[in-house]
């Protein structure tokens, strides 16, 4: 008997054998069990995810001698003929080579005749998007009202090319790319049956290279067995297919995030000299940055695609960069990838992309520049005499918690998130606030703001200033960026710690509580100030025209 490749030998034969397509298999099983069968189905998805296999399993479920059943026996004549592709009642048509009106007319003529052996006559058209517009139109009437013994099953990788009139007559099922962890697990299952030793790292490397296609992964495993024999390691996978190890991609990313330009370029040269594909390495780098972005947004979202060791690496790198900077890096490398496709010297463009990316990490963003310009414009006018100037805006890695205090603009060289949380608990907010008030002149916008709030506690680095919910509009009118920065600077000056001022509305606090506690009437502390009245009127005019 001739050799049978893994992709055919281990093709799914039942709904339970489908990998990573639970949403499709469950729906079809319920439809068969409840006898709620549509006359036309459309399976959509990228290559190698199980479209044709699902169509054949559905055909076996309908035409099995024990059927319709969700568990076709696989041993009756109908099941064996459908699996082999030579059933008289299951006609498989290649849409690319049978796409004319004449082919569809012949199909319509044959559809009138009853099935030879099975319960249904099933037409399985693969790559249905290749049919011409005239062929689609010729199929419309038959597809909408086929004979009771006829079922249509279509499969395509490009549903946007199928006419809307065809789509509206079909039940559509979208098959997804299969997660890497499921592919690796399935490869280990095949390796066990074939008595092959497949290292877990090698299985994950194959799964990543397959990019969600199980058939591609099985073909790659077949090729590796021919190359390596019965023992396959990660180095074999990287050598045969030119992939870059996940650890190498993580090392490149870390050197970029830590702004180590020589080390990053040196690692790139090592990969180039060892024969690695630069386009593949760039694609892997962008994919890793994408995983890092998703991890920062929702760590649990990657547990199906990323192994535990890679998740630890992502967690460490997530602390080194802010989300907006990460988005910029992805855009830069994506643009470089586009240029590399047509460039003869791909390594050159890769080097330039790394250098530019590292330089951009230390540059201020447009939002930071605008904010700083606003501070320079308003800071000198609103800063009371003797108050410290506003700290410069930190950029890039300077804003990352745990970076050196020298870069973050913090006076305490031992600054860290843990130390702030530890010392914040021992701070007396009331005492600290009284010291701050002692440094603010009586007649100033900042003093007026302070008379509307009072300290209610701390939360990590946040110094919480409470106010009445009724005073929210007043707070928004006078709590400018420059005033907030001045308060943070004064808090840092009197406490020796870095603070971030946060205003919170407290339900139990009445309007004017702070002013009354100091022996002043609310009107005297706020409404009688003409400058404040003017600010409130301007604010109200902007938000309520």
Sign of CA dihedral 378, 384, 389, 392: negative
Whose CA is closest to 18, among 212, 217, 178? Answer: 178
pLDDT of residue 275: 84
CATH numeric code, 246-361: 1.20.272.10
Q: Which CATH architecture has domain 180-241?
A: Orthogonal Bundle (1.10)
CB contact at 8 A, 303 and 311: yes
**Beta strands at 150-156 and 121-126: parallel, antiparallel or unpaired:** parallel
What pLDDT score does 302 carry? 80
The pLDDT tens digits for 400-410 are 444 443 333 43
What is the block-wise mean pLDDT of the chain (545 residues), using blocks of 10 residues? 85 92 93 92 93 93 90 90 89 87 89 89 92 90 90 93 92 92 93 92 90 92 91 89 86 92 93 88 92 88 78 88 90 93 91 92 72 68 49 45 40 43 63 85 75 83 84 73 80 83 78 46 46 56 52
Q: 150 forms bridges with which residues in the sheet? A: 121
Query: In the prediction, which pLDDT does 463 show?
Result: 86
Question: So what's the pLDDT on residue 542?
Answer: 54
The answer to whether the CB of 357 falls within 8 A of the CB of 260 is no
Cα distances (Å, whole numbers) of residue 297 to 147, 155, 218, 254: 52, 35, 33, 19
Query: For residues 448 and 438, what is the distance between their CA atoms, to the nearest angstrom?
Result: 14
Per CATH, is 370-543 categorized as 3.30.497.10? no
Contact status, residue 147 vs residue 108, Cβ threshold 8 Å: no
User: Domain boundaries in the chain?
Assistant: 6-174, 180-241, 246-361, 370-543
Tokens of residue 212, six digits: 């969600």
CB contact set of 494 (below 8 Å; sequence gap of 6+)? 432, 435, 436, 439
Same CATH topology for 6-174 and 246-361: the answer is: no
Q: Which fold has domain 6-174?
A: Rossmann fold (3.40.50)
**H runs (alpha helix) in 414-454:** 417-424, 429-437, 445-450
């Amino acid at each position: 008997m001739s050799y049978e490749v893994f992709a055919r030998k281990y093709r799914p034969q039942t709904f339970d054998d489908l990998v990573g397509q639970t949403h499709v298999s469950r729906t079809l099983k319920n439809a068969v069990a409840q006898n709620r069968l549509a006359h036309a189905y459309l399976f959509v998805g990228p290559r190698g995810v199980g479209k044709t296999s699902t169509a054949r399993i559905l055909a076996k479920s309908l035409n099995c001698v024990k059927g319709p059943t969700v568990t076709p026996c696989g041993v009756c004549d109908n099941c064996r003929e459908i699996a082999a592709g030579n059933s008289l009642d299951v006609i498989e048509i290649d849409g690319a080579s049978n796409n004319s009106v004449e082919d569809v007319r012949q199909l319509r003529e044959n559809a009138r005749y009853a099935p030879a052996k099975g319960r249904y006559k099933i037409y399985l058209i693969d790559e249905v998007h290749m049919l011409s517009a005239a062929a689609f139109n010729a199929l419309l009437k038959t597809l909408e009202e086929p004979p009771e013994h006829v079922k249509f099953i279509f499969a395509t990788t490009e549903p946007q090319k199928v006419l809307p009139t065809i789509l509206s007559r079909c039940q559509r099922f979208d098959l997804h790319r299969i997660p890497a962890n499921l592919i690796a697990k399935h490869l280990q299952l095949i390796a066990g049956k074939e008595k092959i030793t497949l290292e877990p790292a090698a299985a994950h490397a194959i799964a990543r290279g397959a990019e969600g296609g199980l058939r591609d992964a099985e073909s790659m495993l077949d090729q590796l067995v021919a190359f390596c024999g019965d023992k396959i390691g990660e180095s074999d996978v990287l050598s045969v297919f030119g992939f870059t190890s996940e650890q190498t991609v993580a090392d490149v990313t870390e050197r970029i995030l830590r702004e180590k330009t020589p080390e990053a370029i040196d690692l790139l040269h090592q990969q180039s000299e060892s024969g690695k594909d630069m386009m593949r390495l760039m694609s892997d780098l962008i994919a890793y940055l994408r995983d890092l972005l998703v991890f920062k947004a929702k760590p649990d979202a990657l547990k199906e695609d990323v192994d535990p060791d890679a998740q630890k690496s992502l967690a460490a790198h997530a602390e080194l960069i802010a989300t907006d900077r990460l988005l910029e890096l992805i855009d830069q490398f994506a643009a470089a990838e586009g240029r590399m496709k047509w460039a003869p010297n791909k390594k050159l463009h890769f080097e330039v992309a790394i250098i530019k990316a590292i330089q951009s990490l230390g540059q201020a963003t447009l939002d930071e520049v605008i904010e700083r310009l606003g501070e320079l414009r308003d800071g000198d006018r609103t800063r009371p005499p003797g108050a410290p100037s506003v700290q410069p805006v930190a950029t890039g890695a300077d804003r990352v918690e745990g970076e050196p205090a020298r870069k973050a603009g913090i006076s305490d060289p031992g600054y860290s998130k843990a130390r702030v949380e530890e010392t914040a608990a021992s701070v007396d907010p009331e005492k600290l606030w009284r010291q701050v008030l002692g440094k603010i002149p009586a007649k100033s916008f900042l003093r007026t703001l302070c008379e509307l709030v009072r300290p209610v506690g701390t939360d990590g680095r946040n110094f919480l200033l409470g106010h009445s919910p009724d005073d929210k509009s007043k707070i928004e009118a006078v709590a400018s960026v420059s005033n907030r920065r001045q308060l943070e600077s004064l808090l840092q000056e009197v406490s020796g710690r870095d603070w971030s001022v946060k205003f919170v509305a407290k339900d139990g606090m009445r309007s004017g509580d702070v002013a009354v506690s100091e022996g002043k009437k609310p009107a005297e502390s706020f409404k009688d100030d003409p400058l404040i009245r003017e600010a409130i009127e301007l604010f109200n005019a902007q938000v309520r025209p």
